[in-house]
Structure 1
Amino acid sequence: MRPLIITAFMSLDGVMEAPGGEEGYRNAGWTYKDVAYDEAAYEIKGREQDQATALLLGRRSYEAFSPIWPEMTEDFARYNELPKYVVSSTLTADDLVDNWGPTTILRSVDEVARLKETEGGPILVHGSATLGHALSDAGLVDRYHLLVFPVLLGAGKRLFSAADVDATALVLTEHEAYGNGVQKMVFDVAPPEAT
C-alpha cells in the first residue's frame, strides 16, 4: 500500500491557511513576514520532493498551485513531472492545465483509497485542508510532515478536522527545532490496533 503523507506549514494554534500570502487572508504570508527565514528548516521540503511519486490535491489547492508551480522550475522541478490527482466533484478535464504533467480527477475519498492500493511510492498532499480532513476522518493518512511556526493566528483553516471521531494515535519519528523557533515534526499514524 502506498503511504499517504500530509505535509503542511502550521501555526502553533493549528492554522494552515495562507502561509505564502494567497487568497487575501488577513494574516496572509505569515511564514515569511512573522518568522525569520532559516534554510535548514526547509530541508524536509527537498526530501519530500525527492521521495514523492505523486501529488494529491483538493480542487482549491489545485487551482491555486497549477498556474504557478509549472513556472517555478528551480523550486518545483520534480513536482512538475509527477502524476497529479485532484479530488473534486466539480472539476472537468477542461479545467486542468496542460503544462503540469499528467493529472487525473478523482471524485471521492473512496477513489483515493483505491489509489493507495496501486503500485508506487509515497503520495504527498500539499495544502488541501478540506481534503486533508476527509482523508484523516477516513483513516487514509499514514504520516504528517509538519513545520510548526511560532505564531498564533486565531482565525483560519485548521490542519486537523474537528469531527467527533475515534482518537488517532501518532508516533513521533523525527523532530528538530530551529533557531527561528520553527519546529519540524514528523508523525506516523499508528495502526488502529495499536491505539
Structure 2
Amino acid sequence: MAEAVAALRAEPGTLLINGSAELLNHLTAHRLVDEYRIMVYPVVIGAGRRLWADGTTADLKLTRSHITTSGVAVLTYVPA
C-alpha cells in the first residue's frame, strides 16, 4: 500500500484522508503524510478509538489553528 500511495503523491494534485485511523497509522509509519488537519470537537464521549495506535511516533509542528463559531478547533500540523 505504501508504494501505491508514494506513486500517487508523485502525481499532481492533493490526496485527502477522511476518518481512517488505520490508514493514517500506516501512512504515518511510512512518512507519507505532508500535513495533518485535525478537528477537535467540544464533546466528551468518555470512550472511543484512538487516532494513532500505541507505539506510533511522529514529531509534529503546529502551523495553523482556528476555532470555528461552533467551537471546533481546526489544527494543522506538518512533520517537524
TM-score, normalization by structure 1: 0.37
1:180 equivalent in alignment to 2:73: no
Structure number having the greater helix percentage: 1
What corresponds to 2:20 in structure 1?
128
Q: Which amino acid aligns with 1:111?
A: A
User: For the Cα contact (< 8 Å) 2:28–2:58, is it kept in 1?
Assistant: no
The alignment partner of 1:184 has SS state of strand
Q: Could you say which residue in structure 2 is the equivalent of 1:139?
A: 31
Aligned-pair identity in percent equals 36
Distance in 1 separating the partners of 2:38 and 2:49: 15
SS at match of 1:155: coil
Are 2:35 and 1:149 aligned? no
Which digits, 9 at most, give the CA deviation of each residue in 1:31-78, with x for residues without a partner? Answer: xxxxxxxxxxxxxxxxxxxxxxxxxxxxxxxxxxxxxxxxxxxxxxxx
The size of the alignment, in residue pairs, is 80
CA contact 1:136–1:161 (8 Å) conserved in 2:
no
* 1:176–1:184 Cα contact (<8 Å) kept: yes
Deviation, 1:179, is: 4.0
**Could you list the runs of 5+ residues in structure 2 that have no partner in the other structure?**
none
Computed over aligned residues only, the root mean square deviation of the Cα atoms, in angstroms, reads 1.8
Distance in 1 (alpha carbons) for counterparts of 2:53 and 2:43: 20
Aligned to 1:109: 2
**Rg (Cα) greater in structure:** 1
TM-score computed with the length of structure 2 as normaliser: 0.79
